[in-house]
Structure 1
Amino acid sequence: MGDLLLAGGRLVGGEGDPVDILVSDGAVAAIVPAGGAGSRGGAGGFAGAERAERIELDGRWVLPGLWDNHVHFTQWASVSRRLDVGVATSAAETAALVGEALREAGGGAVAREMLVGYGFRDGLWPDEPTAALLDAVSGPHPVVLVSGDLHCCWLNTAALASVGVPAHPTGVLREEEAFAVHRALENVPVATSDAWALDAARAAAARGVVGIVDLEMAWNHEVWSRRLEAGHDLLRVEFGVYPQHLDRAIAEGLRTGDAVEVPDARGGHDPLVHVGPFKLITDGSLNTRTAYCYDEYPGSHRHPHPFGLLTVTPDEIDDWLDRAVGAGLVPAVHAIGDHANTLVLDAFERLGASRIPSGVAGARKPTLEHAQLLAGDDFGRFAALGVVASVQPEHALDDRDVADRYWAGRTGRTFAFASLLEAGAELALGSDAPVAPLDPWITLSAAVARTRDSRAPWHPEQRIPTAAALAASLGRRPERAGALVAEGDVADLAVVDHDPLAATPDALRTTPVALTLLAGRPTHRTL
């Protein structure tokens, strides 16, 4: 890999004066005022400049490459191949979309293949989804529709039989039953799935992404080892380990922070894939009305779990965390309802910060994933316990109307990013893709604007400064005042057309990315 000279750029967080940046051996070797590096073949202003490939930045802005701290990468890669039913506003309208898709597909052998759709959100629908409603438009053709929050699946009778639950009363499966359906859908040949994943990685790199935390519900060690061997080298990856795989992870000696090494994979001394956190899910989601709350959901007489669903008991949370931490795996625990969040923070308190693995795990801290609805007394506990709030700002815009209905009177402490920061909590931003797009500029805009259209911002008091949102999107980089890129940094960089710290929320959402570098190697380039 040759050296690069990024000429005439400006540093995000810096003084705004043009600079030349020499990238050598995967790191930022030197930063000097523009023109100080000399021209190609001339007397370089610093060693190596005369040999470097010169890329003219023409005043563009340089910042560290961005991370998405919560994705389900294989599902994200697959979702564009599924029927989009996210625009539907009722069960009947959704069924009509399914019927139209089946008519367009035709009959014969095609009619025996499963139709998979994605994106329905039934929290505000005026009618109920049922297997019978889908049967009326699909007949013997199996149909599975995955909810936009991934916590619910709606199946017709043929699909229910194919996944082993033929007698289900409604065809609407939630939480673990839904996750079992997700696993049943993982029947795409791995070569096809991995090709889709490579496409998704290219798209992410084109948005300035250099790394993801992949919390796919799979044995991710095998998945990413295979992808590395096949040449997937566009992203850094930290992958999660779920309870169903914990015994295997312990038996194979996997610890958070361990590098995954495969023959002939790129990365050399800077491996791209690492073991990430132990992921535990303790409750459901808002739209599915399974987020575990202190208060009953309105209309809960129609729902089997009036307070939401706690999927593991407090004792089980303790046991899982104790086993994982004892094996060297740092926890990342899902909690959305306020009661679930309290229980998880209680478990972290009982666990004790001194128990969290260190050393090979590097700077990874335990995370509470989502932290969507919080009790007032719990904001300060994040900082006190050293737990990072791993949050997804775009969810606030997806969920604002359903939250106003089901969490009325409590939405001031929903997606409460400013309150978390004021209480001293550390934030990590992500998308939860495919629940929201894997695009950190969309994430950043949602965090700083609390709206994405002509609607008034939702709880604008919970907006956070762009600088804070950006800091929460950079992975575990050293904190520093001033410019976000400095000499000696790993050259995971993004080059964008405008200064994100000065951009309007709308401009931030659509930020053009001209160049992405991963350890000095271009993974996306338009220059």
Structure 2
Amino acid sequence: MTGLLIRGAEVDGALLDVRIGHGRVLETGHALPRADRAEHELPAHGGALLPGLTDHHLHLFATAADLASTACDPATVHDARGLAQALRRAVPDRHGWIRAVRYHESVAGELDAAGLDALRGDVAVRMQHRSGALWVLNSRAVAAVGLATAGHPGVERDADGRPTGRLWRADGWLRGRLPSGDPPSLAGLGRRLAGYGITTVTDATPDLDAATVAAVSEAMACGELPQRVHLLGAPLHYASRPGPRPGPWKIVIADSSLPGYDQLAEAVEAAHRTGRPVAVHCVTREALLLFLAVLEEVGALPGDRLEHASLTPPEAVPVIRRLGLRVVTQPGFLADRGDDYLRGTPAEEHADLYRCASLRAAGIPLGLSSDAPYGPLDPWAVMRAAVGRRTGSGAVLGPDERLAPAQALAGYLSPAHSPGDPPWRIRPGTPADLVLLSVPMAQALPLLDAEAVRLVLLAGRPVAGDDLGYT
């Protein structure tokens, strides 16, 4: 494509012209002349020009599948009757299955196969809990996947040894027993992410197989997924090539059953021996303290990360700082599930939920993310949650942990390889992964709204916005 000259954009507080070509920022300055007659000119009218946003933790294929599934979250279906109606309206896929997502027991209680049968039993149904840790299968689905003879430790059984239909942390096992088919298209998700201004994503799905890595690579190559991609679950000995890049090695400390100390230590050391840092899923206080104890013994590697840090006691903060860890957290959960936290978490622990301000104050690099599909995908909504920390009912969880709007935005502007670092600055030679807003920063920061995104460029190529044709 020919070059682009953006005129009068706000860059680091100054109004500048920015010339883009060959996938990079070529020049910045005042009243720059056009390079040639073919160069497009785009008046920015003082709108802020930012580096592209990075979602530091999401799940690509799970989010794509979620967008095509039956939503069963409390905001969509309010009770058992609404859930039954949603499942009855759902159209089975070509294999005769219904996939439902984001269920929470506040809708219709703790469901098992029999409970799901009562809601819809004529076709195979699998329903994912909104935590992502649990699948509930109805009786037809239980029979279809052979749950009665399954040896996976996540298969829940009753006192007589029969499967209840509840399956914990067994995504890979379940996937291997479902009707074969292509992974969901990433095209719709790629467009939605681009519309938010996201130009880079880190997929946090653990233990990716070669086929999944290849599917991500193909989606990037054909343009379905325009974003740059880092994979926490890329195999330990994954060799970088065109396409997704490996990130730190993902280790999940399961919420329901902690691994043994030696088991976790060996997993961390195995990654470190290959030169890969680790990104460790820590949702509970016990999981966090176990991981910190392991690192105190085996040693940390630069780039080691805490994923979620959902409950961080204050005494853990200086340890995290001393070990040099980064934290990637999701304050969007406060807006999405905060009222559940109010009911289910002791009041004295409310400040420990998704800490932000105290981590930054301690000098701990802090990256923000969605954890989609389990949390809100919109980065601007996550930023607003980090600033307000308000639940759906309007209560404030941990007011001292609020971020200033600019700090929340910085959590999405830090580079994928080093979440929490300062954003890269728009200078000649930097990649033209850019977001042009329709308003200056003074207007954008109080709102933190995706509606302000006017144009998104990735390597200088327009991927979203009303100015795709530079009209």
With the shorter chain as reference, the TM-score category is: 0.7 to 0.9
Counterpart mapping for 1:152-171 below 5 A: 152-166=134-148, 168-169=157-158, 171=164
Asked whether the equivalents of residues 51 and 423 of structure 2 are also in contact (C-alpha less than 8 Å), the reply is no
CA separation of 1:368 and 1:184: change in aligned 2, threshold 3 A: farther
Q: 2:7 — aligned with what?
A: 7
Q: 1:371 — aligned with what?
A: 309
Cα distance in 2 for partners of 1:254, 1:490 equals 25
Amino acid at match of 1:516: V
Asked whether the equivalents of residues 415 and 424 of structure 2 are also in contact (C-alpha less than 8 Å), the reply is no
Counterpart mapping for 1:346-495 below 5 A: 346-353=293-300, 355-356=301-302, 365-408=303-346, 409-451=348-390, 455-476=394-415, 484-495=425-436
Alpha-carbon distance, 1:202 to partner:
1.3
- Mapped pair 1:222 → 2:214: yes
Asked whether the equivalents of residues 438 and 454 of structure 2 are also in contact (C-alpha less than 8 Å), the reply is yes
Cα distance in 2 for partners of 1:493, 1:399 equals 32
Match of 1:204 among 168, 173, 193: 193
Alpha-carbon distance, 1:179 to partner:
5.5
Alpha-carbon distance, 1:23 to partner:
1.1
| Percent sequence identity over aligned pairs | 26
Alpha-carbon distance, 1:71 to partner:
0.8
Asked whether the equivalents of residues 22 and 29 of structure 1 are also in contact (C-alpha less than 8 Å), the reply is yes
Q: 2:26 — aligned with what?
A: 29
**Which segments of 5 or more consecutive residues in structure 2 lack a partner in the other structure?**
150-156
CA-atom RMSD, angstroms?
2.9
Counterpart mapping for 1:111-190 below 5 A: 113-122=96-105, 124=106, 127-166=109-148, 168-169=157-158, 171=164, 173-177=166-170, 180-181=173-174, 184=177, 187-190=180-183
CA separation of 1:112 and 1:6: change in aligned 2, threshold 3 A: closer
Amino acid at match of 2:173: A
Cα distance in 1 for partners of 2:454, 2:393 equals 28
Q: Which moved more, 1:224-233 or 1:68-77?
A: 224-233
CA separation of 1:64 and 1:159: change in aligned 2, threshold 3 A: same
CA separation of 1:277 and 1:164: change in aligned 2, threshold 3 A: farther
Cα distance in 1 for partners of 2:95, 2:198 equals 39
Q: Residue 412 of structure 2: SS of its match in structure 1?
A: coil
**Which segments of 5 or more consecutive residues in structure 1 lack a partner in the other structure?**
41-47, 243-248, 262-271, 285-289, 291-308, 357-364
Amino acid at match of 2:454: A
Q: Deviations over 1:223-261 (max 9, x none)?
A: 22333443446100001227xxxxxx35xx425xx3x22
Q: Residue 451 of structure 2: SS of its match in structure 1?
A: coil
Amino acid at match of 2:2: G
Alpha-carbon distance, 1:174 to partner:
4.9
Q: 1:361 — aligned with what?
A: none
Alpha-carbon distance, 1:437 to partner:
3.1
Aligned length: 449
CA separation of 1:110 and 1:214: change in aligned 2, threshold 3 A: closer
Alpha-carbon distance, 1:441 to partner:
1.1
- Mapped pair 1:512 → 2:459: no
Q: Deviations over 1:172-210 (max 9, x none)?
A: 5353245633555584324xx2xx202211111111110
Amino acid at match of 1:463: R
Amino acid at match of 1:514: R
Counterpart mapping for 1:166-315 below 5 A: 166=148, 168-169=157-158, 171=164, 173-177=166-170, 180-181=173-174, 184=177, 187-190=180-183, 193=184, 196-217=185-206, 218-219=208-209, 220-232=212-224, 234-241=226-233, 249-250=235-236, 253-254=237-238, 258=240, 260-261=241-242, 272-284=243-255, 290=256, 309-310=257-258, 312-315=259-262
Normalised by the size of structure 1, how large is the TM-score?
A: 0.78
Q: Residue 19 of structure 1: SS of its match in structure 2?
A: strand
Q: Which moved more, 1:431-440 or 1:333-342?
A: 431-440
Q: Residue 410 of structure 1: SS of its match in structure 2?
A: helix
Q: 2:281 — aligned with what?
A: 334
Alpha-carbon distance, 1:138 to partner:
2.3
Q: Residue 281 of structure 2: SS of its match in structure 1?
A: strand
CA separation of 1:37 and 1:99: change in aligned 2, threshold 3 A: closer
Q: 2:85 — aligned with what?
A: 97
Asked whether the equivalents of residues 220 and 227 of structure 2 are also in contact (C-alpha less than 8 Å), the reply is no
Asked whether the equivalents of residues 95 and 134 of structure 1 are also in contact (C-alpha less than 8 Å), the reply is no
